[in-house]
Amino acid sequence: MSSLERVQRALEDAGQRHVLRFWPELSEQERDSFLQELKQLDVKGLKNHCEGAARAVAAPDPRRDPNIEPVPAEILGSVTRSSRETLTGWEREGLVQISEGRVGVLLLAGGQGTRLGVHYPKGMYDVGLPSGKTLYQIQAERIHRVQELADSQQSSKCSIPWYIMTSEFTLAPTEKFFKENDYFGLEQSNIVMFEQRMIPTVTFDGKVILQDKGKIAMAPDGNGGLYQALVDNKVLEDMKERGVEYLHVYCVDNILVKMADPVFIGFCLSKGADCGAKVVEKASPSESVGMVCRVGGICQVVEYSEIPPETAELRRPGGELVYSAGNICNHFFTRSFLQDVAQNFNSQLKQHVAIKKVPFVDSCGNQVKPTKPNGIKMEKFVFDVFPFSKNFVVLEVLREDEFSPLKNADRAAKDSPWTARKSLLAQHCRWASCAGAALLDQHGNMLPTTSSGSEAVGSPVQFEISPLISYFGEGLEQLLKGRKLKVPFILDSDRARELQAQEHISDDVSAV
């Protein structure tokens, strides 16, 4: 039996014989390419995949056990309710682990920027900062800076490996972008890119969608595809060889993410955790964000759609939401925990339904770009491993300091380039104010400072601090105290040297 005949039989058994309907119209080259794709497909599991997707989308909205509980106090830490001494201790321990080469960062970057309206990886997106930096550059420079902080504290020379999970859509452009930008000054050998698996998209009646006459419409298997991808690409072996024991895992679209956050790492280690999550307080009971809760005594993320409104609206005597721990896809894992998940629990991860607009060819072979959702993408979520943890912990952080995702195009009311840009620049204005600087407009008038930073009406103040200068507001007082800075102003390495030189000249004049 030929390869084509085996594939034909498997497709028929799966109820997907339409996949080859345009075979006679394909060129020899197109046939070879399509047949190779189909041979790599898990055709045996295709029937279950398609039928499962159709069942899932037809199922009623789920509702969780009414006995759901908030995160218990004994596993919950908070940056606002902890003493300065405690936070410093966590940070010190995190920097020690970084200095000893035991910490890596893992970026989840396999998704497409469809909602953002671009056809390239989100990490390459320029949100409109004065510097023009992309998300990838900002994150790379934060790795640089936290390495410097660890080296300075421990008198060492360390490196943080950066693992980047891509997909079929994002791998090649990401590799090209990093190469063109000379890996943003990081060592190429410390940047490890790998692909997650792709799975077929399915119609609402359980049929595989054809993207073209000779190509199935595929989609990444969600950020929970990480665990299979670690195995497929021998990433866990690479971590072991490098001596990496602890991983900070995050999503590409959060412009405020603290790479390899030493405070978070130190907190998790102080609790003996094998798995941890950062959360922010929900902005409102109806905010569309998953919540870290406990169900049946087991901590997990519960989708906002799975909690009855009356439960979501419960408040404590002081007015705080009972269910307030908003998940921001910012996690800590030990390597041994990841190994355990990959070997023993990966097959148990839940499949989630995502309803999408999937371009396709109709029965006549015409290309169609749908105007409303027409397909199902089945995804796994990275946080669905929380129930497998032996010692799970949660750290609550401030939203304005650590969470501003980029998901939608600029016309959107939230999670857009404008809101991401505003969040970062407002943070930098707060840092400047805390360091003792005053920001001036073009006419020399002092810009007002509020609790959320200095802001001009309608737009954020154009004051930006390079991550190479400060990771999280540290070290700025010696540069900025007592200074009046006219915006727009970018505090980068060159400007820092200018300010230091001015300080030395001032000292010399005073000495005379």
- Into how many domains does the chain fold? 2
What is d(CA 162, CA 172) in angstroms, rounded to the nearest whole number? 17
**Residue 224 and residue 123 share a domain:** yes
Structural domain includes residue 413: no
**pLDDT for residue 422 is more than 90:** yes
Arithmetic mean of pLDDT, 417-443: 95
pLDDT at res. 450: 56
**pLDDT for residue 32 is more than 50:** yes
**Residue 329 and residue 438 share a domain:** no
Task: Name the one residue in this structure whose structure tokens are 């015409």.
Answer: 366
Question: How many other C-beta atoms are found inside a 10 Å radius of the C-beta of residue 471?
Answer: 22
Structural domain includes residue 456: yes
Arithmetic mean of pLDDT, 231-247: 98
| End position of a domain, from candidates 387, 402, 417 | 402
Report the CATH number that the domain containing residue 208 is assigned in CATH: 3.90.550.10
Burial class of residue 3, CB neighbours in 10 A (0-12, 13-18, 19+): exposed
**pLDDT for residue 60 is more than 80:** no
**pLDDT for residue 275 is more than 60:** yes
Report the CATH number that the domain containing residue 436 is assigned in CATH: 2.10.10.100
Structural domain includes residue 194: yes
**Residue 159 and residue 266 share a domain:** yes
pLDDT at res. 504: 53
**Residue 318 and residue 365 share a domain:** yes
Structural domain includes residue 23: no
Note the pLDDT tens digit of each residue in 164-176: 999 998 999 999 9
Three-class secondary structure of residue 477 per DSSP:
helix
**pLDDT for residue 204 is more than 80:** yes
**Residue 339 and residue 200 share a domain:** yes
**Residue 436 and residue 392 share a domain:** no
**Residue 219 and residue 82 share a domain:** yes
pLDDT at res. 454: 39
Between 63 and 22, residue with greater pLDDT: 22
pLDDT at res. 42: 81
Arithmetic mean of pLDDT, 197-223: 94
The whole domain housing 497 covers 428-511
pLDDT band at residue 119 using 50, 70 and 90 as cut-offs: confident
**pLDDT for residue 448 is more than 80:** no
Structural domain includes residue 490: yes
Structural domain includes residue 269: yes
Is residue 201 a contact partner of residue 377, using CB atoms and an 8 Å limit?
yes
Between 508 and 262, residue with greater pLDDT: 262
Rg (CA), the chain: 25
Structural domain includes residue 14: no
Task: Look over the chain and give the mean of its residue pLDDT values, rounded to a whole number.
Answer: 91
**List of long-range contacts for 85-89, beta carbons under 8 Å, 24+ apart:** 87/263, 89/266, 89/270
pLDDT at res. 512: 32
DSSP 8-state class, residue 321: B
**Residue 397 and residue 461 share a domain:** no
pLDDT at res. 410: 84
**Residue 482 and residue 338 share a domain:** no
What is d(CA 388, CA 407) in angstroms, rounded to the nearest whole number? 29
**Residue 293 and residue 155 share a domain:** yes
Do you find a cis peptide bond into 308, omega within 30 degrees of 0? no
Note the pLDDT tens digit of each residue in 318-353: 889 999 999 999 999 999 999 999 999 998 998 888
**pLDDT for residue 244 is more than 50:** yes
pLDDT at res. 41: 85
pLDDT at res. 63: 58
Beta bridge partners of 313: none
pLDDT at res. 64: 55
**Residue 311 and residue 448 share a domain:** no
Arithmetic mean of pLDDT, 43-64: 79
Structural domain includes residue 13: no
